[in-house]
Amino acid sequence: MDIGIGLPVLRPDPGLSIVDWARRAEVRGFSTLGCTDRLVYDNYEPLTALAVAAGATSRIRLTTGILLAPLRANHALFAKSAATLDRLSGGRLVLGLAPGAREDDYKAGRLDFQRRGKLFDSLLETATRQWQSHDGIGPRPATPGGPQLLFGGFTKTALRRMVTYGRGWIGGAQGVENFRSLLPGVRQAWRDAGKAGEPRLVATAHFALGPGAEKRLHNSLASYYTSGTYIRESIEAGLATPENVAREVAAYGEAGCDELILFPHGGGLEQVDLLADVVGL
């Protein structure tokens, strides 16, 4: 199983360089740099942050986990932006996509929250067509047919998008048992659609290590999720000790996960090395 690490993009510390973080993550052998997405929150925009990381690295993948795709209302421009990043990074972009469940993000973007599914489908149709035929709009992505797509969510609609457009599925950060319980349905949807091979299975988790890790992780997750079941499940599944990280990484590997991306909460550049040491990189 590959191990990725998220960029420090939530409530970003202006003294913590994404460039230094990305370079250190690549040197330590992480498989990917991940980036999460919100509109109504103090965080860096994912494609922009990944572009900065791309310019500082040469091998590590660049993954949105996840990007709230329907918020990108100009679908041709979104396709162009993604193709540009894929081209400039040498084909390292992986787009984890989902519509999201927070209405405030859509309200701030002056988009109809109830129509986010239709907006998502329209975006996918436009982007995949543009990446394949270009429709007079460049650049041509480095990855033939466009960046690899992973889809979050477990509704029938989410699985339909996965088998129609995607290479696999990306799970939320609610713990390995939640991830394991959803895999049979993902794999069955893949088989029912007559897709070759197996879907790529990616999981996400939250971590903090070092002094004050548990408090940093709890406060950060409580701020990010604000309310609902996600806050309870995510805090319970958060990893704040080396022992918990090691145990959870092993459990995800045993569950059949192809890549686990661990997102940081607080701390400095030392978080890269602390995590790499725990997972054996």
State how far the Cα of 92 lies from the Cα of 34, in Å rounded to an integer.
12
Q: Domain count for the chain, please give it.
A: 1
Q: What is the pLDDT of residue 230?
A: 62
> pTM (2 decimals)?
0.96
Domain span including residue 251: 2-279
Helices (H), the chain: 18-28, 46-56, 75-88, 103-108, 116-133, 156-165, 176-192, 213-225, 229-237, 242-255, 270-279
Q: What is the pLDDT of residue 229?
A: 58
Q: What is the pLDDT of residue 185?
A: 96
Output DSSP code: residue 109: T
Handedness of CA 165, 168, 170, 176 (dihedral sign): positive
Closest to 81 measured CA to CA, from 44, 40, 45, 41 = 45
Q: Which stretches of the chain drop beneath a pLDDT of 70?
A: 227-232
Q: How far is CA 51 from CA 29, 216, 243, 281, in A?
A: 19, 27, 33, 24
CA dihedral 140, 8, 182, 99 (to 10 degrees): -60
Q: Which residues contact 11 (CB under 8 A, 6 or more apart)?
A: 42, 43, 220, 223
Closest to 95 measured CA to CA, from 55, 57, 67 = 67
Query: CA 172, 151, 191: angle at the middle one, nearest 5?
Result: 110
Q: What is the pLDDT of residue 231?
A: 63
Q: What is the pLDDT of residue 212?
A: 95
Cβ pair 37, 3 in contact under 8 A: no
Q: What is the pLDDT of residue 228?
A: 57
Q: What is the pLDDT of residue 210?
A: 97
State how far the Cα of 48 lies from the Cα of 82, in Å rounded to an integer.
10
Q: What is the pLDDT of residue 196?
A: 94
Domain with 263 in it: what CATH number? 3.20.20.30
Residues in the chain: 281
